[in-house]
Amino acid sequence: MEPFAFIVGLVAVVLVAVVWAIAWRRAVARYGDETAPTSVEWLEAEDGWRLAVDRHRPEGTPRGVVVTCHGLGANRYNMDLMDGLSVVDRLVAHGWEVFNVDLRGNGRSASGAPAGRSPRRWNFDDHVRFDVPAVLDHVRAQTGVDSVHWVGHSMGGMVMYAHLGRVPGDPRVASVVAVASPAGLRPGFVVRAAGGFGRALAATGVRIPAHLPGRVVAPFAFRAPLDLMVAWPPNLTTPSIRRMLIRLIEPLSPAMVQQFTRWIRKGEFTSEDGAEDYRAALENVVTPFCFVVGPRDQLAPPASVRIAFERIASPIKEYWHVGRADGAGTDHCHGSILLGPTAADDVYPLITGWLTDREAGRPARDTSSLENGQVAPQPPASRAAMASARDLASAAAAE
């Protein structure tokens, strides 16, 4: 290479690095601030892993206690991203005390591995067998309540499918809201291809840096198809996309990726050793359950969530399909169902309304006629009005 060409290339690389560094600093200053819980609490799971939970207290006496739980490759920001896009904030505003958890290996809990245990090795079974019971026991001990409600997104709902299948009627759990939580992983070509790529990376035993690509493009990200599996771009805003890329995405454990990709490849929902069939155990679930799905979701399409709705034995259960045909502001995807600009109007009222109904001992709404991609036999306006009315009732009860 000619000396002049080498110098020009080197200068170009340095300039790009400087521009990116300046843009990154500005993006972090604008979108990278920390959440503001009332306190951060630490607990220890039975196997010694220390977990962090953000505790959010409402004004006055809480009307109940809710645990919020993130999905795969995410952390607490999944449920508390920013002003206006926070299930946690909505719940607190309606009088609920909220514990927003970072499961092992994610967020603050990434540093909690016990001595002699690799911080890169954990799987879905660890969340079910160790994290969920530890969080439930901690929250009950700290608040004095007998049972808590659980609101989970994606894997954050799946862990409760598995837990309540293993511990039917667990008295520590009052009810569950599972948002975009599949019980059967049979996604399309794009997801299967990504699963194959992830399996190949996981075979190296190295923790997969899923967060790094997002960090690189975060300063320049806008409403573009950065990840069509997780988010349909028109359903998100530029500030929320940049905030997600900076704060929300976490590295992946190779053991977790191998377990999920096996589910995709074989159509299973089982423990790593195959001894427990979590999907079959759904028939043991008798706890009240609310399911929320979006028609554009490629990771948890309605059919994959409908499996859980139909199989659980709970006499109190609801299934909400949230799309334009249902009176929603958009056809929600995996990301927008909690973090899109219309989620606060379309989805949050369903969650707060469900919790209010459970505390009041009301019967479940009849949503059993909802089919895959279809809506209940009532006009969309009435469904939207129902969600709004439930939200208002929840807010009024909190005053």
The CATH number for 383's domain is: 3.40.50.1820
What is the pLDDT, as a whole number, of residue 245? 81
Q: Give which of 170, 133, 154, 161 is closest to 282, Cα–Cα.
A: 161
Burial code (b: 16+ CB inside 10 Å, e: under 16) for 107-142 equals bbbbebbeeeeebbebbbbbbbbbbbbbbbebbbeb
Helices (H), 32-103: 87-93
CB-based contacts of 192, cutoff 8 Å, min separation 6? 264, 265
Could you tell me if 137 and 146 are in contact, meaning their C-beta atoms sit under 8 angstroms apart? no
- Minimum mean pLDDT among 84-93, 206-215, 287-296: which range? 206-215
**Strongest mean pLDDT among 58-72, 112-126, 201-215, 294-308:** 58-72
What is the pLDDT, as a whole number, of residue 228? 46
What is the pLDDT, as a whole number, of residue 227? 42
- Minimum mean pLDDT among 148-157, 242-251, 271-280, 305-314: which range? 242-251
In a domain, 13, yes or no: yes
Alpha-carbon distance 385 to 380, whole Å? 8
pLDDT at 388 over 70: no
Planar angle of CA 174, 344, 145, nearest 5 degrees: 20
In a domain, 3, yes or no: no
Structure tokens at 274: 């195959």
Domain count, the chain: 1
In a domain, 215, yes or no: yes
Q: What does pLDDT average to over the chain?
A: 82
In a domain, 2, yes or no: no
Confidence of residue 382 (pLDDT cuts 50, 70, 90): very low
Within 13 Å of residue 332, how many CA atoms lie on the same side as its CB?
A: 30
Comparing 340 with 144, which gets the higher pLDDT?
A: 144
In a domain, 320, yes or no: yes
Alpha-carbon distance 34 to 19, whole Å? 24
Confidence of residue 322 (pLDDT cuts 50, 70, 90): very high
pLDDT at 234 over 80: no
What is the pLDDT, as a whole number, of residue 270? 96
- Minimum mean pLDDT among 136-140, 244-248, 276-280: which range? 244-248
Boundaries of domain holding 263: 8-398
For residue 358, report the phi and psi dihedrals to the nearest 5 degrees: -70, -40
Cα–Cα distance list, 95 to 53, 74, 236 (Å): 19, 26, 28
What is the pLDDT, as a whole number, of residue 236? 76
Q: What is the mean pLDDT of residues 305-329?
A: 94
Could you tell me if 211 and 251 are in contact, meaning their C-beta atoms sit under 8 angstroms apart? yes
| Encoded amino acid at 163, one letter | H
What is the pLDDT, as a whole number, of residue 78? 96
What is the pLDDT, as a whole number, of residue 379? 34
Distance from CA of residue 350 to its chain's centroid?
16
**Strongest mean pLDDT among 4-18, 172-186, 379-393:** 172-186
Structure tokens at 379: 């006009």
Confidence of residue 225 (pLDDT cuts 50, 70, 90): very low
- pTM score of the predicted model: 0.85
Planar angle of CA 209, 177, 314, nearest 5 degrees: 130
In a domain, 285, yes or no: yes
In this predicted model, what pLDDT tens digit does every residue of 70-91 receive, in sequence order?
A: 999 999 999 999 998 999 999 9
Could you tell me if 230 and 296 are in contact, meaning their C-beta atoms sit under 8 angstroms apart? no
pLDDT at 188 over 70: no
Alpha-carbon distance 296 to 229, whole Å? 10
Confidence of residue 216 (pLDDT cuts 50, 70, 90): low
Alpha-carbon distance 368 to 309, whole Å? 9
Rounded (to 5) percent helix, strand, coil in the chain: 45, 15, 40
What is the pLDDT, as a whole number, of residue 229? 46
In a domain, 1, yes or no: no
Q: What is the mean pLDDT of residues 191-199?
A: 55
Alpha-carbon distance 152 to 166, whole Å? 18
Total residue length of the chain? 399
Is residue 35 classed as helix, strand or coil in its secondary structure?
coil
pLDDT above 90 covers what percent of the chain?
A: 52
Alpha-carbon distance 122 to 127, whole Å? 8
